[in-house]
Structure formats: structure tokens, C-alpha cells
Amino acid sequence: DQQVKQNSPSLSVQEGRISILNCDYTNSMFDYFLWYKKYPAEGPTFLISISSIKDKNEDGRFTVFLNKSAKHLSLHIVPSQPGDSAVYFCAASALGSGTYKYIFGTGTRLKVLA
């Protein structure tokens, strides 16, 4: 049972344009969400997070949007740069229930074309 889903395995975007990565979840107990970036043969690096009390969080070129009613979050990267090419994982946690573990999606491979 995949509780966190990233339905697009890959995405190609032209440099300078917006990249939009999507993530859906099924567990209504999830109240904290994160995005990680991962390069091959490396561990994931934290990008941005959002609590369920918010619907938007912005950090530089990265913005995460949360739509609780649709159980959907998205990561926007503007403008996209070739160095952003990586696999992006969304993760969810149910902090309110006292469990701090992250459930990861399957990842979306972003390729930013120069």
C-alpha cells in the first residue's frame, strides 16, 4: 500500500522555466511533508518542508504548495537550472500521532535542459 505517490517518474524542463513536481498521499493522519533531492549514489538532501497548518512555504527558488482537501502537494522550482537535475522525493510524516518516521514517495527524476 503506497501511502505517498509520485505518479510522474520523470520530467524534463527547459532551463529558466518552471518545474512542477507533484505528490499525492492517502493517509489523512499525515501532517508534515518534506521534499528531498537525491543525486545518484548519494543520500537525499533536504530541500523544503511544510506543516499541514500551512498551504504554502517558500524558500528561494523552491515553493511547496499543500492542498489538504485533495491530499496533494507540489514543489515548484522557478527558474529551473541544470544543477536542479536530480531525483526528487516527497515524504510525509504523521507527527500528531507521535510517529516521526517518514514515508517516501517513489521519486520523480527531473532533467533540466540547457
Partner 1 sequence: GAVVSQHPSWVICKSGTSVKIECRSLDFQATTMFWYRQFPKQSLMLMATSNEGSKATYEQGVEKDKFLINHASLTLSTLTVTSAHPEDSSFYICSASKTSGGTDTQYFGPGTRLTVL
Residues of this chain that interact with partner 1 (CB under 8 A) are 2, 4, 9, 32, 34, 36, 41-46, 49, 51, 89, 93, 95, 100-107
Nearest approach, Cβ of residue 60 and partner 1 (Å): 17
The alpha carbons of the chain give a radius of gyration, in whole angstroms, of: 13
Nearest approach, Cβ of residue 30 and partner 1 (Å): 13
Nearest approach, Cβ of residue 27 and partner 1 (Å): 14
Neighbour-count burial of 82, counting CB atoms closer than 10 A to its CB (0-12 exposed, 13-18 middle, 19+ buried): exposed
Is the Cβ of residue 63 or residue 105 nearer to partner 1 in the bound state?
A: 105
Judge contact between 84 and 77, C-beta under 8 A: yes
Which residues are paired to 45 by β-bridges? 37
